[in-house]
Structure 1
Amino acid sequence: MVNFTSNTYKMKLEILTFSNKISKKLSKSERKFMADMNYGMLASGSCLLTDIVDKLHEPSRKINVVDRLSNHLAKGIPAYALNSYLSSVKKWCPEHPVVHIDDSDVVKPGGYKFESLCLVRDGSESTAKKNIYKKGYHVTEATVLTNNAHSVSLFSKIHSSNEKNFTSINDITFSAIERAVSLFGKATFVMDRGYDDNKMFLKLASMEQDYVIRLTVRRRLLLHGRWVSAAELCNRRKGKVKLTLFYKGKKHEAYLSHIKVQITASRKDILTVPLFNVKNS
C-alpha cells in the first residue's frame, strides 16, 4: 500500500511539473486550468468534463467546476502554452521524425444544441458495402514518433464542413503538415489511402518532404511510358523481399519490391512499394 501511494504521488508530481512547465508564463487561473485538465484526464482516463471534475475533488459544486473548465476551453489554447508544448515535443524526437496524419470522426446522433453539426461517416456502423452517415464532427490528428517509439500529439483539430470559415479538409491537413515542417524542418509523413490525392502529393513535394501514402486501386501510375492502375502493377510484377505482416487480425506472408513511377499530378519520379503474393501464414 505504501509503494502504491508513493507511485501515485510521484506520477501526480510529474504531471503537475509538466503542466507548470508549459504554462509558467500564463495567469494564475490559466495555470490552474492547465493543471486541472492534465491531471483530471490522466486520472480519470476520460475527456468528459464531468469525469475530470470527479477526480479533482474540489469543494465547489460540480456544475460550477464544469462551467469554469468549459469557459477556459472556449478560449482555445494560449499561444505560449502551445509553443512551449511543441518545444518539449521537439526535444523528445529524432532530427528526422516520422509524422502520422489521420482523420476520424466524432458522432453525435442525439445532439441538437451543438454548433455547426455536419454529416460524417459512422465508422462503427459502416461496412465495406454501405456507408452510414450521422451528425457529428471531423477530427484531424497528427502524431509524431519519439526517440522512445511513443506517439505524441502534434496537431489535433475538431472541425465541421458547416462552419462559416471552413474551406476544405485538405486545408486542415495542410495546416498539420506546415506545423510539423516548421517544427522539425524535415520529416517523413505517413498517411492512409484517404490521402491518395494529387493535391497532397504536390503539397509534400513543394515542401521537399518525404512521405509514405497508401495508394488506392484506382490510382494510375506512369510506368515505362504507359499508364497502369496500382492493382495492375501489383499483378504484373514479382516481389523480391519477403515480409511477414499482420492485416485484419491475421498473419500474412508477402513479397515486396520498389518501382520507380510517376503520378498524374507531376512528372517527378516517386517510388512505389507494392505487395505481391499475399498469403495467410
Structure 2
Amino acid sequence: MNATEIYQTKRRLLTFLEKLTQGLSKPRKKFYSDMVYGMSKAQNTVLSDIARALEEKIDLKYTIKRLSRHGAEEKDLKQVHQNYLNTLKTSIPDNPLVIVDESDIVKPYAEKMEDLALVRDGSKNVLEKGYSTLNFSMATPSTKHPLPLYHHLYSSKEEGFQSQNIEIAKGFNAVHAFLGKKKATFVMDRGYDRNTIYEYVEDIGHHFITRLKDNRHLIHKNQRMKVPELAKRRKGKINFKTEIQGEKYSLKVSHIKVKLPVLKEVSLNMVVVYGYGATPMKLLTNHSIKGKDDVLRILKSYITRWRIEELFRVQKEEFQLEKTRTMTLSSLRILYTVMNSLIGHYSLAIEKNTSHTQVVLARARPSNTLKKIKFYLYRFIRGVSNILRFDTAGIKHFHRIEQRSNQLSLL
C-alpha cells in the first residue's frame, strides 16, 4: 500500500475530527478521535474491534475499558452533533430534499442492555427486542448520497419517552432550526401519512411529498373521496422511465388537485403513478403543479427516498450496527452518532469527487466498472478500511500535543 495514500486518508480524517470535536476537552477529543479512526479502519461499531484498530502498544483490555468508560458519558453528544452540522452548512443547497424514515436495531438475544423494547424487525416483519431510530437525511445535490441531518436512537421504555409523534416533531424542529431561512421538501413514506405531520410541516413553512395510504380520504371538487377511488380518475398521461433499487420501470403519471379535510385552506396535489406495482402509487404534496416538469420533479424527488433505505443497509451491513454490544443507551447513542457523522463525511467526499475520492474508490476492489456504479458509499467505506488496514501506527501520532513554552517572557 502506498504510504502517501495512508497519510492522505488519515489527514482527511484528522481535519474532519478537528471540526467534529471543537470545544471539547482534550480527553474527550482523544476519545472521539479514537472512535472515528477505529470505526473507519475496523469498518464496524463493535468496541473491541475499534480498540484493536487503534494499534496501541498496551493490553487490548485496557483500551476497551478506556473507550467503555468514556462511552458512558453522553453530555457532550449534542455539541458533537452540532459540530458535525457545522461541517455541512456550506453544502446545503436551496430547497434541499430531506428524506424522513425510521429504522430499528434488533437485539433478539440481548438480556441486559438498557431499556430494551419491542420493535418491528423490518426485514422479517416480526416484533423483536431492540431500539428504534429516527432519521432525517438530505440527498446530496449531484450524487444523491445521504447526508444525515438528524438521527436519534431511542427506546419506548426509557425515562422521559412520551410518544413517537413527539420524537418525530423533535426531528422536524431540529432540521428546521438547522436550515434557517431555507425551505426544504420533506419526503416521506406511508408511515408518515398522518394529519398531525401535515399540519406541522405546513405550520413551520416547508414542503412535503408523502406516499398515501389507501384508507386516506381527500377532498376533490367539494366531495370527500377515498384515495383509490380518486386515483381511478387519472389514468396516466405522462410517460417516464426510471430505475428504482436496481430495477427498471416504465411509469405513467398524472396529477389531480385535492385538499385535506384538516387543511381545507391549503391547495394540494395528488400524483398518481402507474407501473410500479399492482395498484397505482399515490403521492400527496403541497408543491404547486403547473405542468409536466413539475409532476416529474415530484416523482423524482420521491424516488430519491429509496436512498435512505441504502443508508440503513450501510449502517447494518457495512458498519454491522446490530452486532454492537453495549450495556447503556448512552454508549449506543455515541456509537450511532459517530457512525452517522462518518457516513455524512464520506457522502460529502463522494459529492466533491476529488482525486483522493477516486483513489479510495479504487482501493475498495480492483475493478474498472466505476462508471456503472450509482451508489458509491459501500465502496468508499471499504476503500478507506482497506487503506487504513496497512497502517500500523494508529491515530495517536496525529493527536496534536500542546507543550508549555519554557522560554522566559521579556517585560
Q: Same fold (TM over 0.5)?
A: yes
Aligned length: 273
For residue 133 of structure 2, what is the aligned residue in structure 1? Answer: 139
Give how far 1:191 is off: 1.1
1:125 is displaced (CA, Å) by 1.6
* Alpha-carbon distance in structure 2 between the residues aligned to 1:260 and 1:190: 19
Structure 1 contact 198–264 (Cα < 8 Å) conserved: no
Residue in structure 1 matched with residue 157 of structure 2 by the alignment: 162
How is 1:103-118 mapped onto 2 (pairs within 5 angstroms)?
Answer: 103-118=102-117
Contact 1:93–1:145 at 8 Å: present in 2 too?
no
1:163-221 deviation digits (Å, cap 9, x = unpaired)? 12111112111111111111113211111111111111011010010111111111111
Equivalent-residue separation in structure 2 for 1:172 and 1:63 (angstroms): 37
How has the CA–CA distance of structure 1 residues 163 and 279 changed in structure 2, closer, same or farther, with 3 Å as cutoff?
closer
Please report the TM-score for the alignment, with normalisation by the length of structure 2: 0.63
How big is the shift at 1:257? 1.9
Separation in structure 1 between the aligned mates of residue 110 and residue 275 of structure 2, nearest angstrom: 47
Distance (whole Å) between structure 2 residues aligned to residue 211 and residue 137 of structure 1? 27
User: 1:44, 1:103 → 2: CA distance?
Assistant: 26
Q: For residues 32-79 of structure 1, what are the alpha-carbon distances to aligned partners after superposition, in whole Å with 9 as ceiling and x for unaligned?
A: 111111111111211111221121111233232223223323222444
CA deviation vs aligned residue, 1:115-149 (integer Å, no higher than 9, x gap): 111111112222xxxxx111111111111123443
Which amino acid in structure 1 is aligned with residue 12 of structure 2? E
Q: How does 1:228-243 map to 2 (within 5 A)?
A: 228-243=225-240
Aligned partners of 1:101 and 1:191 also within 8 Å: yes
2:232 partner SS = helix
- CA drift of 1:251 comes to 2.3
Structure 1 portions without partners, runs of 5+: 127-131
| Shift of residue 31, structure 1, vs aligned partner | 0.8
Match of 1:236, as an amino acid?
R
* 2:234–2:256 Cα contact (<8 Å) kept: no
Query: 249, 257, 262: which one pairs with 1:260?
Result: 257
Structure showing the higher strand proportion among its residues: 1
Contact 1:252 1:279 in 2 (8 A): no
Q: Identity of paired residues, percent?
A: 34
Deviates more, 1:79-88 or 1:170-179: 79-88
Q: Does 1:92 align with 2:86?
A: no
Report what 1:50 is aligned to.
Answer: 48
**Would the aligned equivalents of 1:120 and 1:137 in 2 still touch at CA under 8 Å?**
yes
Aligned mates of 1:279, 1:121 — CA distance in 2: 24
Matched, 1:179 2:179: no
Task: Say if 1:96 and 1:187, in contact at 8 Å, map to a contact too.
Answer: yes
Tell me, in whole angstroms, the C-alpha distance in 1 between the residues paired with 2:44 and 2:158: 27
How large is the RMSD of aligned CA atoms in angstroms? 1.9
Structure 1 residue 106 displacement after superposition: 0.8
> In the alignment, which residue of structure 2 is the partner of 1:152?
147
Preserved CA contact (<8 Å) 1:103 1:138: yes
Separation in structure 1 between the aligned mates of residue 24 and residue 142 of structure 2, nearest angstrom: 30
Range with bigger deviation, 218-227 or 145-154 = 145-154
146-155 or 213-222: bigger deviation: 146-155
Report how far residue 276 of structure 1 moved: 2.9
- Greater helix proportion: 2
**Compared with structure 1, are the counterparts of its residues 247 and 155 closer, same or farther at alpha carbon in structure 2 (3 Å cutoff)?**
same
Unpaired runs of 5+ in structure 2? 279-411
